[in-house]
Amino acid sequence: MNKKKIFNDPIYGLIRFPFDSIYEIIDHPYFQRLRRISQQALSHYVYPGALHTRFQHALGATHLMCRAIETLKAKDIEISDTEYESVCIAILLHDVGHGPFSHALEHTLASVHHESISLIIIKKIGEELNMDFTLVLQIFQGTYHRPFLHQLVSGQLDTDRMDYLTRDSFFSGVAEGIIGYDRIITMINVVNDHVVIEEKGIYSIEKFLMARRLMYWQVYLHKTVVCAEIMLISILKRARFLTQQGTKIASSEELDYFLRNSEASSSDLSNPDFLRHFVLLDDMDILWMIKKSVNHSDIILRTLCSKLLDRKLFKVKSVDNEVNRKLVADQKLKFMEKYGIDESETHYFFTEKTETIKHYETGDKEIMILMKNGEIVPYSHINKHLNLALENRTFLFYVME
């Protein structure tokens, strides 16, 4: 039955996968959980259509991977069926370790990078489905002797980025994020087991890099999106503080595990209780807790929850002059007086955050261009106007009373 299963994707149309194992993995509860993990956290507070999930993204990235591998095989690059299947599984499961609201809570509920958790979950899925994931794990971790397979999963121009830029642009309605993924995939080649882009694809690469920058500032790091995520993080921090002080919080068993324990870290990954609770945790746990806490006895928790649910978000000022800092300082004093809270507790409502974008990475992740004469040249050597510096923006978030 799985061989005939077709997914109707709003971007790529009808898609299917060439291996039964992919469908078995999709049906696994750990993967189905991604239906309940939002792809763009709280971006829908700014872009109402951005309500898509990690599940959709994983399917889309796997579809693009299939197209990339078929393109390489058509160019006489030797890729075995085992390598083909394994790289598809690696991209399918690359985000399986994401927690609720994706990156927003990655270091709030647990100080563990989602890729570290993904690695543990991939191993667990392999064991439960009785599949040998040795090659999958090598490709995922970048230890396989043919680096181009890992580069297609996690590189500067991988199928993960190609899908999330295309998908996030589609659902948010931000046209600046549209990239020519078709042409990029068509221009992919492999030389000495490393990914290269044929010279004809140079302008598609330039557009890809520009689209990524615009999507970060216009969508992912939009000041209002960041503001909503800061409020979400403040809610979790307050809920954890109250729980550990013995105050009851309305939460699921899975969320309660992370609220009661001291901030979980990579050392907890071997703890079966950590994994058991993590794979049952999703956006619904957080939203239910927030909804039930609007009438909590703690004024800080209920104020934060009410404001977030009703989209009465913090105000935002750029850190570019002393006038803004003075304004925020004055508002902090008014807020403390109105709510009767101590200055040590104002960090839940008043904070400063710097967001950074790295436009292009040199070194191991450098995009290599295959010239018509057979020479391989780093893209940074071709585009002399390429911005290699970090771009920073710092904002003050505060409550206006």
**pLDDT tens for each residue of 212-257:** 999 999 999 999 999 999 999 999 999 999 999 999 999 999 999 9
Residue 81's pLDDT is what?
97
Q: Do 215 and 227 belong together in one domain?
A: no
Q: Do 184 and 239 belong together in one domain?
A: no
Q: Do 209 and 320 belong together in one domain?
A: no
The verdict on residue 15 lying in a domain is yes
Residue 308's pLDDT is what?
97
Q: What is the dihedral of CA 255, 43, 112, 161, to 10 degrees?
A: 140
**CA–CA distances in Å: residue 375 to residues 199, 367, 385:** 10, 14, 21
The verdict on residue 398 lying in a domain is no
User: Between residues 108 and 148, which one has the greater pLDDT?
Assistant: 148
Query: Is 111 a residue whose pLDDT tops 90?
Result: no
Q: Find the mean pLDDT for residues 79-108.
A: 91
- Any residues with CB less than 8 A from the CB of 46 and at least 6 apart, and which? 219, 222, 224, 225
CATH number of the domain enclosing 109:
1.10.3210.10
Residue 267's pLDDT is what?
58
Percentages of the chain per state (helix, strand, coil), in multiples of 5: 55, 10, 30
**CA–CA distances in Å: residue 176 to residues 50, 101, 214, 255, 383:** 15, 24, 7, 37, 21
Contact 67, 93 (CB under 8 A): no
The candidate with the shortest Cα–Cα distance to 41, out of 171, 205, 202, is 171
Angle between helices 299-309 and 283-292 (to 10 degrees): 120
Query: Is 265 a residue whose pLDDT tops 90?
Result: no
The verdict on residue 396 lying in a domain is no
With bands split at pLDDT 50, 70 and 90, how would you rate the model's confidence at 115?
Answer: confident
Q: Do 287 and 370 belong together in one domain?
A: no
Strand order in the sheet with 376-378: 188-191, 194-198, 368-370, 376-378
Classify residue 385 by burial, with Cβ atoms within 10 Å: 0-12, 13-18, 19+: exposed
Residue 125's pLDDT is what?
97
Radius of gyration of the chain (CA): 23
CB count in 10 Å sphere of residue 199: 15
The candidate with the shortest Cα–Cα distance to 91, out of 117, 133, 60, 121, is 60
State what percent of residues in the chain have pLDDT above 70.
Answer: 97
The candidate with the shortest Cα–Cα distance to 25, out of 159, 124, 99, is 124
Residue with tokens 């595990």: 257
Give kind and range of the element (H or E) at residue 392: strand 390-398
The candidate with the shortest Cα–Cα distance to 161, out of 218, 216, 111, is 216
Query: Is 40 a residue whose pLDDT tops 90?
Result: yes
Q: Find the mean pLDDT for residues 385-391.
A: 90
The verdict on residue 290 lying in a domain is yes
Q: Do 182 and 248 belong together in one domain?
A: no
Residue 400's pLDDT is what?
83
Q: Find the mean pLDDT for residues 367-395.
A: 94
Q: What is the dihedral of CA 332, 337, 340, 343, to 10 degrees?
A: 40
Q: What own/partner pairs with CB < 8 Å and gap ≥ 24 does 186-191 have?
A: 186/71, 188/68, 188/71, 188/72, 189/72, 189/75, 189/77, 189/370, 190/72, 190/75, 190/77, 190/148, 191/368, 191/370, 191/376
With bands split at pLDDT 50, 70 and 90, how would you rate the model's confidence at 112?
Answer: confident
Residue 2's pLDDT is what?
56
pLDDT tens-digit series, residues 245-261: 999 999 999 999 999 88
- Structure tokens of 94? 């690359």
The verdict on residue 400 lying in a domain is no
Residue 109's pLDDT is what?
81
With bands split at pLDDT 50, 70 and 90, how would you rate the model's confidence at 376?
Answer: very high
- Structural domain harbouring 182: 2-221+361-391
Query: Is 270 a residue whose pLDDT tops 80?
Result: no
Classify residue 337 by burial, with Cβ atoms within 10 Å: 0-12, 13-18, 19+: exposed
What is the distance between the alpha carbons of residues 226 and 215, in angstroms, rounded to a whole number? 14
Q: Name the β-bridge partners of 197.
A: 188, 369
Query: Is 147 a residue whose pLDDT tops 90?
Result: yes
The verdict on residue 399 lying in a domain is no
Q: Do 132 and 275 belong together in one domain?
A: no
Q: Do 140 and 282 belong together in one domain?
A: no
The verdict on residue 401 lying in a domain is no
Q: Do 276 and 380 belong together in one domain?
A: no
Residue 387's pLDDT is what?
87
Q: Do 298 and 197 belong together in one domain?
A: no
Residue 106's pLDDT is what?
74
Residue 264's pLDDT is what?
59
E strands along 158-256, which residues?
A: 188-191, 194-198
Residue 302's pLDDT is what?
96
Residue 263's pLDDT is what?
58
The verdict on residue 397 lying in a domain is no
Q: Do 237 and 347 belong together in one domain?
A: yes
CATH number of the domain enclosing 340:
1.20.1250.30
Q: Do 47 and 89 belong together in one domain?
A: yes
With bands split at pLDDT 50, 70 and 90, how would you rate the model's confidence at 266?
Answer: low
What is the distance between the alpha carbons of residues 54 and 37, in angstroms, rounded to a whole number? 6
pLDDT tens-digit series, residues 41-86: 999 999 999 999 999 999 999 999 999 999 999 999 999 999 999 9
Q: Do 230 and 145 belong together in one domain?
A: no
The candidate with the shortest Cα–Cα distance to 238, out of 281, 196, 292, 299, is 299
Q: How many domains does the chain have?
A: 2
